[in-house]
Amino acid sequence: MYHPPVPSRLRLWLAALALVFLAAHLTALPKTLEDIDSINFGLGVEHFDVWAHRPHPPGYPVFIAMAKGTTAAVGVVRPDWDRDRRAAAGLAVIGVVAGALAAFVVAAFWIAAGMSTRSAWLSAVVTVTAPMFWLTASRPLTDTSGLVVAIGVQAWLLAGLARLDDEDPRLPRDWLVGAFAAGFIIGLRSQTLWFTAPLIMWALIELIRRARVRQAATMVAAAAAGALAWAVPLVWASGGLSNYLGALRAQGSEDFSKAEMLWTMPSWKLFNVSMRWTFIDPWHERTLAHVVLALALIGLVVLARRQRRLVAIVLVSFAPYLFFHLAFQETITVRYALPMIVPVAGLAVAALASAGTLVSTAGVAAIVVASLVFAEPRLRAYAEGAPVFLAMQDMDRARRTETPAPVVLTHHQVWWGVQRLFEWYRPVWNLGAQPFPGDREWLTVVEHFRSGATAPIWFLADLSRTDLAAFDPRTTMEAGRYVFPSTLRTLIGGRRLDSVAWWRIPQPVWMLGRGWSLTPEMAGVTDRDSRPAPSHTAEAFLLRARPVSEIVVGGRYLGPDNGPGARVVVKLGDRVIDEWTVSSNPRWFVRWITVPAGALSGEGAYARLAVETSSITGGVAPTVGLEQFEAAPEGGTIYALTDGWNEQEENPSTGMQWRWTGGQSVLEVHGPAVPRTLTLSGESPLKSYDTPPTVTVRAGDRVLSTFSPAADFTQTIAIPADAPGAPVGHITIALDRTHSPSDNGSSPDKRRLGLRLFSMKLTSGGR
């Protein structure tokens, strides 16, 4: 049965929807590129080279040709925009225009499939306002444009199927155009093949069944011609077929070896989470997703009873891609699930339509409002730019006035996440090679300054890493923190580096090498580096040009209970400046060491300080965790945690660190009599107590502050210059109660815990 064209009234409604879509998205074009694919596309627009991943294979020549035009147009319309913004907008506008056209294309598909014009319109509305579709249309990628043109080709092919008539010997024009377009749009996005090929096969079967073999061959030739229209120029631009196939093989090998896909890593757990990423996350909010999916299942049942042909069309049009997606794509990249919004939305509308006009109108309105409530704020947040790009923009602006020029280093997680970003900036700022000693990147900084270099380090840090604690906090400054909005994570997905910190590290007064445990991460590195040996050595380096007068070393004895203990010897160069013994009673220790006058003189920018631990009785040295280090320049203030503290903890996936106080936790402070400020930031005690505890902070016997936090808190406590504590004093943080995780029998942890502190800073004129 042939389906009439879209009625004029429906076209008006579709045009209104398209205009609303355009208005919302053209005012929220992204200011930067974002993930590796978008950077590859941006590089490809500037200089096309598939082997160099400009863009990545298979090459996307049709998309790049379009993007060259749109990027040039953006430059004409907005010449004031910088290179980053022009590139992002030039790519994104293709998806925005495609998203607006989706209102017509999706409706045409459902009409061609056999749905009523009203239901087709409602399906288009639900599709284009779905949270993932709404956001993805503004991403500088091929997902939205590829989907929309593929659905358009499907509509052509279905229209040709409706026109096929045994009494009319002519090949339906829709099939000829659709076949050519199916081949051509593979050059826009290769995954379109999974939407168009099944319907072409259906058409070919129908022609062969009617003994119209020549027409079937004509369709195949049209599809081949469409593919050759982009493939021939692509192969020529790639330096020949062998070069292009080599790049394609390399990309395929990388995908299959690194991507987490069900075909190579089959498991129920991965299948379960893949289904969530495919069907739940595109709607952002679980409740909305569950409602839409429940309606879609009902719609499938309704159509299976009333319009089985429509169900068959949906299955042929989308089931092959779903299989490909689940089996061969990394489903954590949730934008790959974008196409499944189309059948889910259509089936959900079918369920609502079966309940009548009023119900379907109200139901669709509710879904659309809920979708836009989630989607629109996230579209605006996304438009502000990707955190790693914003960090690089700030660094690029700052480095132009920096003398000497900074050396940029990163954590290896950052490098693997943004190496293409470095390539993007290479024309204006060659960041050079990135040396990575595994998970010991801070050692590169140490060697830089030990070599006598004075150029500052700018370190682009993964927020989950804590190794920069190895540098003097007086001279190490976080210049910027760039965090991806958590509200966007569901709709963006993927394995991505989306939050970084920019640290400025000028020549530090002190820095630590191997062997320390200032953070749990550093402790893990030290543990992996350690081998059974008669002694272990931790290294620190003190700047000769700014002599320090005193250092403090603290830690824990981690050997067996009632063991013989360990001897600790501290050497500055070849000179022993302190030694003592530690054992299991008590395990905690803090040692204050006066640096002898003239001990820092010598050659090189830094003097080497070695903390050597060995067994008292000989044999293998017991483990000693060196968890505190500080060095004070003359006239400066330093402090150490002494009595009543629990060990530092961290969340390795986020880098968040905390330390629990006990009932009374003491800071020992050394330095001149100057005003100081103690700042405590911590978690709400009501997560551990029924009522807020009373916290008292004292300097010696003098009460400085009393407070009772009932939520997450930051408390600033002034310590006057005349408070007890010069040159040595004690600050006590006391609680009127403590708790233990073992109190309710759910944990074997018997520690007595007070406040959970995320940060603690003691500042003064000398710090």
Which tens digits make up the pLDDT trace of 8-30?
A: 777 888 899 999 999 999 999 99
Tell me, yes or no, whether 519 and 493 share the same domain: no
3 in a structural domain: no
pTM for this predicted structure:
0.88
Q: Is 423 exposed, middle or buried (0-12, 13-18, 19+ CB in 10 A)?
A: middle
What is the tens place of the pLDDT at every residue in 185-207?
999 999 999 999 999 999 999 99
Tell me, yes or no, whether 442 and 515 share the same domain: no
- Read off the amino acid at residue 496: R
111 — pLDDT class (breaks 50, 70, 90): very high
- What are the start-end ranges of the E strands in 662-720? 664-670, 676-682, 695-699, 702-707, 713-719
Question: Rounded mean pLDDT of 59-84?
Answer: 96
Please determine, for residue 7, whether its predicted confidence score (pLDDT) is greater than 70: no
**CATH number reported for the structural domain that contains residue 757 in this entry:** 2.60.120
Tell me, yes or no, whether 566 and 667 share the same domain: no
700 in a structural domain: yes
What is the tens place of the pLDDT at every residue in 34-52?
888 999 999 999 999 998 9
Please determine, for residue 416, whether its predicted confidence score (pLDDT) is greater than 80: no
Tell me, yes or no, whether 600 and 498 share the same domain: no
440 — pLDDT class (breaks 50, 70, 90): confident
Tell me, yes or no, whether 572 and 450 share the same domain: no
401 in a structural domain: no
CA dihedral sign, ordered 263, 264, 268, 273: negative
Q: Which one-letter DSSP state was computed for residue 739?
A: B
2 — pLDDT class (breaks 50, 70, 90): very low
Please determine, for residue 4, whether its predicted confidence score (pLDDT) is greater than 50: no
Tell me, yes or no, whether 113 and 225 share the same domain: yes
pLDDT at 341: 98
| Dihedrals phi, psi of 539, to nearest 5 degrees | -110, 140
Tell me, yes or no, whether 201 and 109 share the same domain: yes
166 — pLDDT class (breaks 50, 70, 90): low
11 in a structural domain: no
Please determine, for residue 605, whether its predicted confidence score (pLDDT) is greater than 70: yes
119 — pLDDT class (breaks 50, 70, 90): very high
pLDDT at 72: 97
pLDDT at 436: 63
What is the tens place of the pLDDT at every residue in 561-603?
887 899 999 999 999 999 999 999 899 999 999 999 888 999 9
| Dihedrals phi, psi of 459, to nearest 5 degrees | -110, 120
| Dihedrals phi, psi of 612, to nearest 5 degrees | -105, 130
pLDDT at 227: 96
All residues at 6 or more sequence positions from 698 whose CB lies less than 8 Å from its CB, including other chains: 704, 731, 732, 734
| Dihedrals phi, psi of 386, to nearest 5 degrees | -80, 140
**CATH number reported for the structural domain that contains residue 601 in this entry:** 2.60.120.200
5 in a structural domain: no
- Read off the amino acid at residue 532: P
pLDDT at 670: 92
565 in a structural domain: yes
* CA 580/CA 389 separation, integer angstroms: 50
Tell me, yes or no, whether 84 and 231 share the same domain: yes
| HSE-CB of 727 using CA atoms within 13 angstroms | 11
Question: Rounded mean pLDDT of 57-84?
Answer: 96
Tell me, yes or no, whether 534 and 494 share the same domain: no
Of 591, 613, 634, which marks where a domain is finished?
634
Of 587, 609, 634, which marks where a domain is finished?
634
255 in a structural domain: no
Look at strands 510-512 and 499-505 and give their pairing.
unpaired
What is the tens place of the pLDDT at every residue in 684-715?
999 999 999 999 999 999 999 999 999 999 99
Tell me, yes or no, whether 202 and 328 share the same domain: yes
Tell me, yes or no, whether 164 and 102 share the same domain: yes
Of 505, 523, 549, which marks where a domain is finished?
505
Tell me, yes or no, whether 190 and 56 share the same domain: yes
All residues at 6 or more sequence positions from 18 whose CB lies less than 8 Å from its CB, including other chains: 100, 101, 103, 104
Please determine, for residue 471, whether its predicted confidence score (pLDDT) is greater than 90: yes
Range(s) of the domain holding residue 371: 21-247+260-383
pLDDT at 654: 81
14 in a structural domain: no
Q: How many domains does the chain have?
A: 4
